[in-house]
Structure 1
Amino acid sequence: MNIGAPETLAAGRVKFFGRHRGEVNSSAFSPDGQTLLTASEDGCVYGWETQSGQLLWRLDGHTGPVKFCRFSPDGRLFASTSCDCTIRLWDVAGAKCLQVLKGHQRSVETVSFSPDSRQLASGGWDKHVIIWEAQATGSWDSTIRIWDLRALTPAVFHQELEGHSGNISCLCYSASGLLASGSWDKTIHIWKPMTSSPLVQLKGHVTWVKSIAFSPDEQHLASGGYSHSVKVWDCNTGKCLKTLKGILDVAHACAFTRDGRLLVSGAAD
């Protein structure tokens, strides 16, 4: 997706955050870049001052390894997911847990906040999509659940979204609020929250989908899988426009730049 040759970059270790007591499963910067979150196998969420590397907090409460963490776009909240089948919603200012979101039957692997920070989508190992009014989650039970962040409690059940036949491995909101879900069933679904069926299904991966990202104009979606390649899709037709190869290992992450002209992928090469 790069139309020009990249500039030479200098790389090196800038900071070292080394006080975890288990493997680090996920990390996320705050919107202002001042704070770094890390989720650890030791069951804790860590907060760090980005510039100094100082440990600001170590938050426990989960009863299993913490799998994923993410800030809300407005920077006021962050969420963590765990093998204990829960999502915890935290207040940034007070570094305290506001709510434990329950409903998944198996490990919760990923979350994504809506652009307005009023919805949260979570996914994991329980294999179908459930929409709760004004909030979402995805899990290993193949479900996606929606939660009301304004009330900080699960809302009344609204409807169940069925489509995936495998664990939900990644979720991503677009700028306008569309929701994409990637699964172990090798497909990606694009949903308009509060509808009962996907707007479009993207089929073509030969292994499970690891990461997804919308382009800023929402016309394209990039996805990385365990096939050592990244695919670029037309969000309207579901057609695969390009398969980018050259990755030596699994594409664990992919992201568009803000202008949509560049696509970046990260792998354990």
Structure 2
Amino acid sequence: MKADYHKTAVKHFSRHKGEINCCVFSSDCQILLTCSDDCRLFVWSVISGELLTKASGHTGPVKTCCFSPDDAIFASGSHDCTVRVWRTATAECLHLLQGHQRGVETVCFSPDSKHILSGGWDKRAILWDTQNGTVIRIFSGHQSAIQSSSFSVNSQYLATGSWDYTIKVWNYEAEEKEKTLSGHTGNVSCVCFSTTGLLASGSWDRTVRVWNPHKGAIIFLLECHTGWVRSLAFSRDGMLLASAGDYDPVFLWDMENGNCLKTLQQKMDMAQGCIFSPQGALLTTGMVDEISKADDAEQQ
């Protein structure tokens, strides 16, 4: 996690015993959640670097995790084919969600925290009720694994990005046929809705595309990355888009014209995530050697 590049202040969160697959901030940017091939999730204090609690229960590598918008709970998806819902304060498992037939690669919450969308190697996305853990709806249509997902701000639309190089936009409230957004030439690794209704997608093809999801039309094709695009984040007013990826700076894009406004250097090999804080600052999490290669004494 990068605190301030110009002061070379980089905090290492290094107690996992396997490769870290996902790092995400809480909405207030005070807590960091990490998940790993060691089947565990760790909850950290961003300010102190202290390990607050850890969640155990998955029997396979944990590939994805996310906080609910109110930060009261978090969700995780694993190659054990399950999704789990946890209480943030205690890491108590509240629900074990079983319905996927293969490993889970993505989970996300609706803006009101009432629903979870998950997707994975069974090529399906499942919408769950957060309160009781039941399946609400199953979305099928992708030709390969689903790696990314996002809710629109009003929760009416869901987006999924796949290894079939497409994004699908689903209407949660209607049975109308999904829209398929095509154009990427690599796996779609991240998708993100803005507060203004735009949809951004990042891909292994090293590009970011910004779409009008209702018309299925591309608005901007953003080309600066030299590696896979791993993470996207819109500013809270929807006027800026940040994109992060492998071996690249974080790029900041103007959503009025698609121009690159800034490149923000990072002191890590791989940016796992980026988020705009409530105060407007841009924070990133990522991988450096020390994160995945912790000292043995540190891990006890």
The whole-number CA distance in structure 2 between the counterparts of 1:238 and 1:41 is: 36
Alignment match, 1:231:
209
Judge which range, 99-108 or 187-196, deviates more. Answer: 187-196
User: Are residues 1:196 and 2:192 paired?
Assistant: no
Task: Quote how far apart the aligned CAs of 1:18 are.
Answer: 1.2
Q: Which residue of 1 aligns with 2:128?
A: 147
Identity among equivalent positions (%) equals 43
Distance 2:18 2:147 in 1: 22
User: Using the alignment, how far apart are the partners of 1:119 and 1:108 within structure 2?
Assistant: 16
Secondary structure of the 1:10 match is: helix
Give 1:132's aligned residue.
none
Shift of 1:163: 2.1
Q: Structure 1 residues 97, 189: closer, same or farther in 2, change over 3 A? A: same
The alignment status of 1:112 with 2:90, answered yes or no, reads no
CA deviations on 1:100-134 (whole Å, 9 max, x unpaired) are 10010100011010000000000000xxxxxxxxx
**How far apart in 1 are the matches of 2:141 and 2:126?**
14
Q: Is the 8 A contact 1:110 1:123 kept in 2?
A: yes
Instruction: State the Cα distance separating 1:11 from its structure 2 match.
Output: 6.0
SS at the partner of 1:53?
A: coil
TM-superposed CA distance for 1:147, in Å, is 1.4
**Aligned-partner residue type, residue 54 of structure 2:** R
State the match for 1:17 in structure 2: 13
In 1, the alpha carbon distance for the partners of 2:7 and 2:127 equals: 40
For residues 254 and 176 of structure 1, the distance between their equivalents in structure 2, rounded to whole angstroms, comes to 19
**Residue 221 (str. 1) matches residue 199 (str. 2):** yes
Deviations 1:160-191 (A, max 9, x none): 43321111110001110111111111111111
What amino acid is aligned across from residue 148 of structure 1 in structure 2? D
How far is 1:234 from its partner?
Answer: 1.5
> 254-263 vs 113-122, which deviates more?
254-263
Paired with 1:94 and 1:17, the residues of 2 have a C-alpha distance of: 19
Which residue of structure 1 aligns with residue 189 of structure 2?
A: 210
Tell me, yes or no, if the aligned pair for 1:85 and 1:104 is still in contact at 8 Å.
Answer: yes
The answer on 1:86 being equivalent to 2:82 is yes
| Match 1:262 to one of 235, 240, 255 | 240
Distance 2:94 2:218 in 1: 41
Unaligned runs of 5+ residues in structure 2 are: 248-300
Secondary structure of 2:80 counterpart: coil
Q: Which residue of 1 aligns with 2:221?
A: 243
Q: TM-score normalized by structure 2?
A: 0.77
Give the paired residue count: 242
Rounded Cα–Cα distance in structure 2 between residues aligned with 1:196 and 1:187: 20
CA distance in 1, matches of 2:8, 2:236: 24
In the alignment, the residues of structure 1 paired with residue 6 and residue 216 of structure 2 have an alpha-carbon distance, to the nearest angstrom, of 38
Distance 1:255 1:97, change over 3 A: same
1:58-81 per-residue CA deviation (whole Å, 9 max, x = no partner) reads 221110111011000011110111
Once the two structures are superposed, what CA deviation does each residue of 1:12-63 show, in whole Å capped at 9, x if it has no partner? 3342111111111001112222211100111100011111111112221110
User: Does the aligned pair in 2 maintain the 1:29–1:36 contact within 8 Å?
Assistant: yes
Give the aligned partner of residue 283 of structure 2: none
Aligned twin of 1:35? 31
Q: Which residue is equivalent to 1:138?
A: none
Unaligned runs of 5+ in 1: 1-8, 126-140
The structural deviation recorded for 1:159 is: 5.0
Check whether the contact 2:53–2:90 (CA below 8 A) recurs between aligned residues.
Answer: no
Partners of 2:65 and 2:77 within 8 A in 1: yes
Amino acid at match of 2:44: W
* 1:133 alignment counterpart: none
**Distance change >3 Å, CA 166–CA 197, structure 1 → 2:** farther
Question: CA separation in 2, counterparts of 1:30 and 1:106?
Answer: 28
- The amino acid of 2:181's aligned partner reads L
2:285 corresponds in structure 1 to none
Letter in 1 for 2:202: G
Matching residue's letter, 1:170: S
> TM-score w.r.t. structure 1 length?
0.85
Question: What is the rounded CA distance, in whole Å, between the counterparts of 1:13 and 1:249 in structure 2?
Answer: 25
